[in-house]
Each structure stands twice: as structure tokens, then as C-alpha cells.
Structure 1
Amino acid sequence: MQPEKYLLVSQFYQEYAAITDQAKWEDWLALFSDDCTYKIQSRENYDRSLPMATLSLTGIGMLKDRIYGITETIFHDPYHQLHTVNSPLILSESSSGNIIESQANYSVYRTKNDGIAEVFNVGRYLDRLRLVDGKIKIESRLCIFDNDMILNSLIYPI
């Protein structure tokens, strides 16, 4: 892989984290292709090839619906998220160079308005990324979390 392309992928992971942490939901949606998949699954289920996922969305319409739910209908104790994402590992690249499969480890910290920061979710992203006109779109994102359970409820994207 060309160094410039690797830097583009690395920048993309950091941009994803910043957009998600700042709750810029329209920008978050723009990171995905129209026919995307987005899943959050426990490591145990992933390792055992079990299909059960904590959250499974297919297509940009389902992602939009989730964001609508977050912003308009779901009542929850407010909190802030902070993602840290390590440098991505490129797993493969298509011969045309426009499809990249990669992974990156992540940690998500949660801070409630009246509380202290706590580790909310830790795991890795397994991604299929498409390069379109010099920009990256997520075709598939699988968030594999290490812990068996997620604290309270999962509101915001990981």
C-alpha cells in the first residue's frame, strides 16, 4: 500500500472518532456507503461464528433511523463519549486499490454530566472501506467488543 493511502486510512479512523465524539450525526452518516452494514457484536459471538449482534444495521436508511432515534425519541441519562483509536492494520487491498480491508483497536470512554469518566467499551473495528473520488466510505463496519456485556444501554455508535 502506498504511504499516502495509508495516511488517508489513518486520518479516516481519527475523523470517525472525532465526528462520533462530537455527535455530528449528519457527518457520521456521510462516512458510510448507501448499502453499508454496521454491526456491534461481542467477541464471544464473533469467535464462535454466532450471528447474534447487539446492534445490526443494514443500509444507510437504518443508520438514519438510528440517528433519528438517538436525537428525537430515545430518553436516556445524557453522557459524552471519547474514542481512542489506534493506527489501523491493513489486512488486504483489492487489485484496483479501491477496496481496503482493515482493522483498528478502539476504546470508548463515557462521562456522565455528574460523574467521572469510565471505560464504556473496548474492542476492534473490522472494516471494509471503499475509496471513492479520493474519499473513504465504510461499506462494512463490525465493532467487536471484548467485554461480555455493555454497561447500561448502547445509545451512541461505537
Structure 2
Amino acid sequence: MTTMTTPTAPIEISRQERLQLWTELLELQHRYVSALDNNRLEEWPGFFVEEGRYEIIPKENFDAGFPAPIMYCRNAGMLRDRVLSLRNANIYEDHVYRHGTSGLVITAIKDGVVHTQSSYVVVITGAAGESSVYQAGTYLDEVVQHQGEWRYRSKRVVYDTSRVATLLATPI
């Protein structure tokens, strides 16, 4: 079994710079989950650079080295198409997500790319008002500066949950 870490590289910044960077990346993550939790899906692609990658992959596939995500978008155009599809074409039960995130760690800084790892839990509340844990897992992110703001170059959502209980419609 492999461990769930991103590449490590020496982090050549001061403690104060590291704390400032961590705070900025935590704020990015909080804005990201707030947009999803509050049904502001049109904001979702804006958290990524234009060639940003987004994927959701089961932990068992990740651990085995199988590149078989259940959702894959390789650029912001695909992210925008995903939102349009959710708003206009897909049929799924109305629901609300609430994310809990923790343990954001900077694992590497290399060539202008900051690698982070954190944990998440998503609680889903359906149209009937019943809540349950929908998914739990790890975010493996690559973050870069773009026009003076932090954006995701890559967001890998590696879920621990053995199966997805309902249609995976909304991004995690």
C-alpha cells in the first residue's frame, strides 16, 4: 500500500514566509469549499488556472497506481462545461454539500509550484432534509500564482469511501 503524499522537496523559505503562504493557501481552500457548499458553482472554474486539472479518484485506484478517475477535467473549459451541464442538462436529486477540511500541509515547493495535502469530509443533505457522510478523503493539490492570486494547477480528490452512494454530480 502506498502512502498518500505529494512529492517532497526542500522548502527554502523562512518560518514567517511559510506561515504566510500556509495562511494564503488555507484561505484559497476555504473560498473553494464555500463556493461549492453555497451552490456558487459558476465560481468553481475560477479557482483553477486555464490549463488546470481536476480529478476525483478512488483511493484503491490511487494506491494501486491506476490512473482511473471517476471524474476528470483537464482544463478550465472542461470545468465550465461541467457547471453548464449541472445547471442545464443533468438530472439529479437536489442536495447541499457541507465540507469539513483539516490538516493542510505544505509538502513541497518546487519551480513555483506549491504542493499541499489536506483531509476533507463532505456531508450531503438531500431534498428530504436527511444528512449523511457522503465522502471522506484527501486533497492533493498543486497551487501556483496566477495574476497575483493563488490558483489550483491540479486538484486530485482521492476519496477513501468504498463507493459513491449517489450520482456524483457536484464537484468535491
On whether the aligned pair clears a TM of 0.5, the verdict is: yes
Shift in Å, 1:65? 0.9
Task: State TM-score, norm by structure 2.
Answer: 0.87
Partner residue in 1 for 2:145:
131
Distance in 2, matches of 1:26 and 1:68, equals 8
Partner residue in 2 for 1:154:
168
Residues 1:42 and 2:58 aligned together? yes
Equivalent positions of 1:1-150 (< 5 A) are: 1=13, 2=17, 3-94=19-110, 98-150=112-164
Shift in Å, 1:87? 3.7
Which sections of structure 1, spanning at least 5 residues, go unmatched? Answer: none
Structure 1 outlier segments of 4+, above 4 Å = none
Cα offsets for 1:110-149 (capped at 9, x unmatched):
0012131100010000000002243111100100000121
The AA in structure 2 aligned to 1:150 is: V
- 8 A Cα contact 1:10 1:87, kept in partner: no
Distance in 2, matches of 1:134 and 1:69, equals 30
The AA in structure 2 aligned to 1:137 is: R
Which sections of structure 2, spanning at least 5 residues, go unmatched? Answer: 1-12
- 8 A Cα contact 1:37 1:56, kept in partner: yes
RMSD: 1.2
Q: 23-32 or 45-54, which moves further after superposition? A: 23-32
- 8 A Cα contact 2:106 2:114, kept in partner: yes
Task: State TM-score, norm by structure 1.
Answer: 0.94
Distance in 2, matches of 1:76 and 1:53, equals 20
Q: 117-126 or 80-89, which moves further after superposition? A: 80-89
Q: 132-141 or 53-62, which moves further after superposition? A: 132-141
The AA in structure 2 aligned to 1:38 is: Y
Cα offsets for 1:87-113 (capped at 9, x unmatched):
411010125xx3200011000010012
Identity between Structure 1 and Structure 2 (%): 22
- 8 A Cα contact 2:49 2:152, kept in partner: yes
